[in-house]
Amino acid sequence: MRPAKKSIRLSPSQVLVLGMLAVIWTGAFLLSLPISSQEGTRLPLIDALFMATSAACVTGLVTVDTGTYFSIFGQIVLMILMQIGGLGFMTMSTLFALMLRKRISLRDRLVLQQALNQNDMSGLVRLVRKIILYSFVIETVGALLLAIRWSFDMSVGRAVYFGIFHSVSIFNNAGFDLFGEFRSFTLHVNDPIVNLVGITLTILGGIGFIVMADLIEWPERKQLSLHSKVVLTTSAFLIAAGTVVVFVFEFTNSSTLQPLSWSGKILASLYQGVTPRSGGTATLDIASMRQATQFFIVILMFIGAAPGSTGGGIKVTTFAVLIGAMVAMLRGKEDIVMFRNRLAKDRIHKAITLTLFGIGTVAIITMLLSALEDRHFLMILFEVTSAFATCGLSMGLTPGLSELGKVIITVTMFVGRLGPVTLAFALQPKPEKELYRYPEGQITIG
């Protein structure tokens, strides 16, 4: 009798990591083909891998200019990678399974639960349907509005194409643009339609699909979940803080806000207050901002968007829990209470873990790049944080990186998109049940 072959059992975290790697390498191969460039030349593998990772991880950092280097084929590859990266490859896989009327297995649901950052498996398939529907409707409306606006500046066909590309890019918080010369949306700093559509798409992509579903169902239920309340209030606070900081510090900056009208100043401040939430596009030149503004944007990028969204960062709920823990400690309270709900201890532990992982990752990568690249420290910190938080805002460092620097930023984007904790779970051996607990000890804090 032949011994039975051992089947390799991958954990949900390992499936996510390997699936993402497969998407990235496929995209890198396609982007390296001569058909992907306008001049018919091959993009070096390191640059193709960087661009594919940036698109699949919905970051937006680029080593070559998207609008002038890539052909229509290459740009479409990037757009598909952005869509897969924003919604998650498991969401896309589930969509195809539903279209083919295939049964979603328990194992697929476990991976989906991990990918969508859900606490349980109930309603996962229903949530995937909502994600696909909301994304299609929002991106279609965004593309239509942008196409109508740009049809006054270019041919209708080109306007439609630009509308679709940028709607997908902004909603998925990817930050890619086709305007050339690494200018992002700076040509449209005074355009109210482009600004308002971009702001709306970034916010909708950043608050997450769970919150969107809650808001859509609110007229019937007349109630929002605790998660939605925390996301909406914290997001509103961060957007307001970002807008005020940009307005105050850049008001007299001749390279950013000073030349603009009052309405232009307010619109530009609001856009720059929203986009660090992992949006990636900008209507002002980030490199020309004052250092105080740049550092505050670093903080906003690190916090990022909401869980279950197309954005990155440690997430606004993590930030809210940390602030709640600090307030509770200062007030001498044992529990963290938000909207008359007490938070479980494991939520606090997870928030602390994610934050420390994030700070550690950014610190280590910043030190490495500081040793490799002869650039200003704040510029390096800005770029590393942008890569980790999958934001895509840049002070212009990325195109001039060394080969090793590009590899380091590529890994940083990958780690930031999947999350350090997911990678840790994917790499760790199968956990064993603890048979005993150590006695409790006391240490002095503070």
| pLDDT value of position 386 | 94
Of 17-21, 91-95, 261-265, give the lowest mean pLDDT range: 91-95
Alpha carbons within 13 A on the beta-carbon side of 19: 22
| Integer Cα distance of 156 and 25 in angstroms | 34
Position 126 confidence tier, pLDDT thresholds 50, 70, 90: confident
> pTM score > 0.75 for this model?
yes
DSSP string of 6-72, one letter each residue: PPP---HHHHHHHHHHHHHHHHHHHHTSGGGBTTSPPPPHHHHHHHHHHHHTT----SS-HHHHB-H
Mean pLDDT (whole number) for 378-390 = 94
Note the residue count of the chain: 446
Spatial CB neighbours of 424, under 8 Å, sequence gap ≥ 6? 357
The DSSP bridge partners found for residue 337 are 342
What's the CA gap between 51 and 55, in Å, rounded? 6
pLDDT tens digits, 216-239: 888 788 788 888 899 999 999 999
DSSP for 153-215, written as a single string: TS-HHHHHHHHHHHHHHHHTT----SSSTT-TTGGGTT-HHHHHHHHHHHHHHHH-HHHHHHH
Determine the average pLDDT of the residues in 405-412: 94
Give yes or no for a contact between 298 and 385, defined as CB atoms under 8 angstroms apart. Answer: yes
Q: CA 330, CA 118: separation in Å to the nearest integer?
A: 31
The pLDDT of residue 405 is above 80: yes
Provide the pLDDT for residue 426: 47
CA-CA distance, 225 to 210, in Å (whole number)?
Answer: 9
**pLDDT tier at 248 (50, 70, 90 boundaries)?**
very high
Q: Which two tokens stand for residue 95?
A: 């969509």
Q: Are 84 and 92 in contact (CB under 8 A)?
A: yes
Question: Of the candidates 213, 72, 66, which has an alpha carbon nearest to the alpha carbon of residue 138?
Answer: 213
Specify the amino acid at residue 444. T
CB atoms inside a 10 Å sphere around CB 95: 15
Contact between 168 and 178 (Cβ < 8 Å)? no
Determine the pLDDT at residue 1: 46
Q: How far apart are CA 264 and CA 189, in angstroms?
A: 7
pLDDT, tens digit (0-9, with 9 covering 90-100), for 413-437: 988 887 655 555 444 555 556 666 6
State the average pLDDT for the chain: 84
Enter the DSSP assignment of 275.
Answer: G
Residue 175 has a pLDDT of 86
CA 384 to chain centre: 14
Q: In terms of C-beta distances under 8 Å and separation of at least 24 residues, what long-range contacts does 3-7 make, across chains too?
A: none
Taking residues 110-132, what's their average pLDDT?
A: 63
